[in-house]
Amino acid sequence: MEKENKVLFYERPGYVFSNFSSFKVEWRGVLWTTSEHAYQTAKFEDEKIIEEVKNAKSSHEAYKLATVTYKDSVRKDWDDIKIDVMEEILRAKLAQHPYVQKELARTDKKEIIEDSPRDSFWGRGPDWKGENHLGKLWMKIRDENK
């Protein structure tokens, strides 16, 4: 959904920017089903948990395993590294998919906003005062690639 100088994504349109979209991503020598799978597994050091999240049947299942089932097993430094990890994964996704490159270029100079009503860290949050880190990362990468 585009509104004037904004590109909103969460579901459709703009879903290409979501980590839940169906783009395989090779990252750190592993081929991941989606960027969400890669991101969620990066939260853990336990190989059994990593394998289970990696092999989740969907991005939604990977998210649920990481945020509900194994939430107490997240690595202690996660909050310190999660933005850098996300940026690495987004850069890999962009480099590997011409369609993502095309769609990112189409955003031109518009503000990219993860239109999540629930996530105030990665998205806009319920009150539109969220930090929108996912949108900010996409804009940073876009602006570097012009």
Q: Which two tokens stand for residue 63?
A: 């998210």
E strand intervals along the chain: 2-3, 6-9, 25-27, 30-32, 111-114
> Does residue 108 sit in helix, strand or coil?
coil
Q: Give the model confidence (pLDDT) of 1-19 as tens digits.
A: 446 788 888 776 788 999 9
Nearest-10 crossing angle of helices 133-144, 98-106: 100
Percent of the chain whose pLDDT exceeds 90: 88
Domains of the chain are: 1-23+97-146 (1.10.357.40)
Residues 8-57: pLDDT tens digits? 887 767 889 999 999 999 999 999 999 999 999 999 999 999 999 999 99
pLDDT at 14: 84
**Tokens found for residue 140:** 């940073």
Express each pLDDT in 81-102 by its tens digit.
Answer: 999 999 999 999 999 999 999 9
Question: Rounded distance, CA 111 to CA 91, Å?
Answer: 18
Look up the pTM and report it: 0.93
